[in-house]
Structures are given as C-alpha cells and as structure tokens.
Amino acid sequence: MAELKHPFLVNMVYAFQDRLNLYLIMDYMPGGDLRFQLGRCEKFPENIVKFFVCSILLSLEYLHQNNIIHRDLKP
C-alpha cells in the first residue's frame, strides 16, 4: 500500500505496529468520504456526479494496473 500513489486514493504514508496493534498513517482527507457528502447533500448536480464517477473509474484502473482488485465496492 505504501508504494501506491494516486490523487483519487487515500494513500498510506507509513505503517508500524506494536504487540497489539497495527497503525497506518494515511493521507488527511478534510472533505470526508462520499457517504458523508451524500448525507450532507441529498442531490448532486450532474457535473459533480460525473467528477465522482470519473474519479472512481480512474482509481480502479490504477489499482488494476498494479494487480490489485478491490472487492468491497458499494453502490
């Protein structure tokens, strides 16, 4: 995960662990996730939806190019 860098993915910067826990240092995302945005706005304008769809497709394409399959996509 630390080797992947993409503007539409939450990138991992660093990871470490102690005896009980694994800690992942990830990019700070101040805008929240898509679910948060959907809860805030009941309806998005078409241009925003196009941006979200393109962002998701580009990030999935990047993952597939790096031999990673994301199995937890939700509508």
* 72 catalytic per annotation: yes
CA distance 5 to 46: 28
Of the candidates 18, 27, 33, 72, the residue annotated as catalytic is 72
Record the pTM. Answer: 0.73
Whether the per-residue pLDDT at 4 is higher than 90: the answer is no
The band of 74, judged by pLDDT with boundaries at 50, 70 and 90, is: low
CA distance 27 to 11: 6
Length of the chain: 75
CA distance 20 to 70: 27
CA 14 to each of CA 17, 20, 22, 28, 65: distance values in angstroms, whole numbers, following the listed order: 11, 17, 11, 13, 22
Question: pLDDT tens digits for 24-40?
Answer: 999 888 887 777 888 88
